Structure 1
Amino acid sequence: MKPLEDRIVMTLDAGGTNFVFSAIQNYEVITPVVTVPSFSENLEKCLAQIVEGFKTIEGMLPNSPVAISFAFPGPADYTNGIIGDLPNMKAFKGGIPLGPYLESIFGVPVYINNDGNLFAYGEALCGALPIINKRLRDAKVNKQYKNVIGLTFGTGFGSGVVIDGKLLTGDNDCGGDVWVFRNKLFPNKIVEESVSARAVISEYNKMSTVKNFNLTPKDIYLIAEGELDGDMEAAKMSFSKLGEAAGDAIAHLITCIDGIIVLGGGLMKAYKYIFQSLLRELDSSLELNDNKSAPRLQMEVLDYENTSDFDFLLKNQKKIIIPHSNKEIPYNPIKTTFIMKTKLGTSASISLGAYAYALHMLKQ
């Protein structure tokens, strides 16, 4: 029998507009990527597109796949492959057993999870986590990380958590979800109302002297860059506000999880306008009763791309002597973690996460 990694898994990254299909073997995509419209308003057309997409990929394979594994929006009972009522895919209402349906057609196990979970899983196994740990080993820093918080900024605010190599799914398939956290900017709203594509458009129109609700986040980014007519400062601030709200939510999550942070999603084009306000929030302080203050986090959040941040970690590493001996041991007196933008790309990380998740489930 072949090792699991030699077997082929068909994958899908499902969005409200398009479905993106591929197949992976040994953590490498082995087929051309197939992209088709999702027909998310019509269940029969939508299901037909999914089946046809997988059949197209299957026809390209040298051997039969051992599983299908893919990201699909929630709410869902991912464990049993049942998709619930989806606000951005109106075709799915009342509970659609998508997993069992595909199993009946293709005759292989079908695994479904949300994009935030699979993004985090892909980054933990193939992306941010091994990249950071290798850099630390190469620099002879006595520090290795095990936990990952993956966050996607796009249509909504997606998230996933991997703890010591294991994906946190939770008892109700919503472990690690951040989108429903309280919103710092609007405490009576969920944070996704400030961390999403719609939030960028809304904030821009609140601050701009010229209202235009037909703009897309890409348009607003181009306005911020000076490549499209509009209110440049309002454009920059709309992304900065997103970063502030996201930073507050991430601060709560990292306090519980204590891991590296990796960012992805369609809004990463505007990363430079999002990142600084996000980082300021993580680096902020909160008040104590005696009029003093305490850091928001127990750890310093270091920017992977900032050489001086990496030097800070090196500079604070030391060796201490064990009492009553001549032996020295390494000691990192300052608690640290890293934040970085995905190097693999969001869709690639999701696909690799789907592949890895299928292998994990097959081992069970």
Structure 2
Amino acid sequence: MKSDSRIVMTLDAGGTNFVFSAIQSGEQIVEDIRFDSEANNLDKSLNNIIEGFKIVLSKVKEKPVAISIAFPGPADYPNGIIGDLGNLPAYRGGVALGPLLKEKFNLPVFINNDGDLYSYGEALWGFLPWINKKLEEANNPKRYKHLIGVTLGTGFGFGLTVNGQLYLGDNSMAGEIWLMRNRISPNEYVEEHASIRGVRRVYSELTGINISEAPTPKEIFEIGMGIKQGNKEAAIQAYKTMAQVVGDALANAITLLDCLVVIGGGLAGAYPLFMPFLIEEMKSDYVKSLDGKKVKRLMAEIYDLTNENDLKEFLVNEYRAIPVYGTNLIANYNPSKKIGIGITQIGTSKAIALGAYSFALNELNKKIE
């Protein structure tokens, strides 16, 4: 797509800010334009969206071919209808955002979840090309084609890209990982610990302070790493708890999907603190109740791709030649099953924007074909 000169206007919509831009040939050509999301006022919110795209339109030299938006769910994404959002209450009841913008700008409009577009951007432009290039440089013929992308921040987002195509499900609800059962607190869902509020919650509980007075996740990370003064044990435990519930949820996902995982979002920068606990959780064992024998949590070997030694082992070529019985033929056999867990290589916001851009062009190409 780097050779594709078509322009796509993009919007990354959050509960606080709307961020607008435009992308051409895989590069951002309009610097971020920010508007308040006006979460409780539909008129102001929609007017801000329209105004944001008008400004982007005034800054590009050629007419864009589409608008592509990352918007929180629930939503009827194929039809461009936004549903009952928790962080944007003004949109409850159903808002036909796609048809509105199509009417205003006379352009095709594509809307998807930010977690989905994050996965798509990382699969096409970020993590997946990066690891496959590493494998090529290591003379390893193995190539990965599928990718789980998760975001850790205000919430716990998820997206799945399969063979270069975004998997959305029949009801635009694929990958609602945030609703999985919470390993630490089975009566709660995962996001209650796999989020900013979850990290602050555990720290506040362990230190006896009100959650409103708890440090930010960045500060808690710095406390846990010994960079900043505070309750170091509580800080480490806060991220360990998050890592355990995230690791458990990802292990469930990998059991079904068998693909690499890339982590982004506001909490991803704390990976030096939480990643070892996440990997430990995914490498853990079940204990069979009848005979007490241990069974591995996952059939695949799990590698921390942020760790230099793990990355080196992951890249090792383990293919070997075996004879084809009764013939003089030789077959290549790879007995290893490897799954890598890593951190965004291009940044979460850029991955989402590139995912939105790529999705729009892909859909337009389908119509041409």
Query: What is the CA deviation profile of residues 6-30 of structure 1, one whole-angstrom value per residue up to 9, with x for unaligned ones?
Result: 2110011111111111111111111
Superposed displacement of residue 235, structure 1? 1.4
User: What secondary structure, in the 3-state scheme, does the structure 2 residue paired with 1:266 have?
Assistant: coil
Counterparts in 2 of 1:110-149, with a 5 A limit? 110-149=109-148
Q: For residue 251 of structure 1, what is the aligned residue in structure 2?
A: 251
Is 1:180 paired with 2:182?
no
Superposed displacement of residue 37, structure 1? 1.9
TM-score (norm 1): 0.95
8 Å CA contact 1:209–1:231 kept in 2: the answer is no
Query: What is the CA deviation profile of residues 183-228 of structure 1, one whole-angstrom value per residue up to 9, with x for unaligned ones?
Result: 1111111111110111111111111144452333233223334454
8 Å CA contact 2:201–2:211 kept in 1: the answer is no
114-123 or 38-47: bigger deviation: 38-47
Paired-residue identity, %: 45
User: What secondary structure, in the 3-state scheme, does the structure 1 residue paired with 2:262 have?
Assistant: strand
Q: Distance in 2 between matches of 1:324 and 1:259?
A: 35
Alignment partner of 2:352 out of 341, 350, 353 = 350
TM-score (norm 2): 0.94
Q: Distance in 1 between matches of 2:299 and 2:267?
A: 28
Q: For residue 232 of structure 1, what is the aligned residue in structure 2?
A: 232
User: What secondary structure, in the 3-state scheme, does the structure 2 residue paired with 1:30 have?
Assistant: strand
Q: Distance in 2 between matches of 1:311 and 1:127?
A: 19
Q: For residue 84 of structure 2, what is the aligned residue in structure 1?
A: 85
8 Å CA contact 2:115–2:157 kept in 1: the answer is yes
Is 1:312 paired with 2:313?
yes
8 Å CA contact 1:150–1:160 kept in 2: the answer is yes
Q: Distance in 2 between matches of 1:333 and 1:206?
A: 46
8 Å CA contact 1:224–1:233 kept in 2: the answer is yes
Query: What is the CA deviation profile of residues 88-108 of structure 1, one whole-angstrom value per residue up to 9, with x for unaligned ones?
Result: 112211111111111111110
Q: For residue 299 of structure 1, what is the aligned residue in structure 2?
A: 300
Q: Which amino acid aligns with 1:296?
A: R
Q: For residue 286 of structure 1, what is the aligned residue in structure 2?
A: 286
232-241 or 320-329: bigger deviation: 320-329
Q: Distance in 2 between matches of 1:159 and 1:3?
A: 26
Counterparts in 2 of 1:1-364, with a 5 A limit? 5-214=4-213, 215-288=215-288, 289-313=290-314, 314=316, 316-364=318-366
Q: Distance in 1 between matches of 2:138 and 2:245?
A: 34
User: What secondary structure, in the 3-state scheme, does the structure 2 residue paired with 1:205 have?
Assistant: helix
Count of residue correspondences: 363
Question: 5+ residue gaps in structure 2?
Answer: none
Q: Distance in 2 between matches of 1:188 and 1:141?
A: 44
The alignment's C-alpha RMSD in Å is: 1.9
Question: 5+ residue gaps in structure 1?
Answer: none
Query: What is the CA deviation profile of residues 61-105 of structure 1, one whole-angstrom value per residue up to 9, with x for unaligned ones?
Result: 110111000101111111111111111112211111111111111
Query: What is the CA deviation profile of residues 258-315 of structure 1, one whole-angstrom value per residue up to 9, with x for unaligned ones?
Result: 1110000011121112211111111111123432121111111222233332443426
Q: Distance in 1 between matches of 2:211 and 2:152?
A: 22
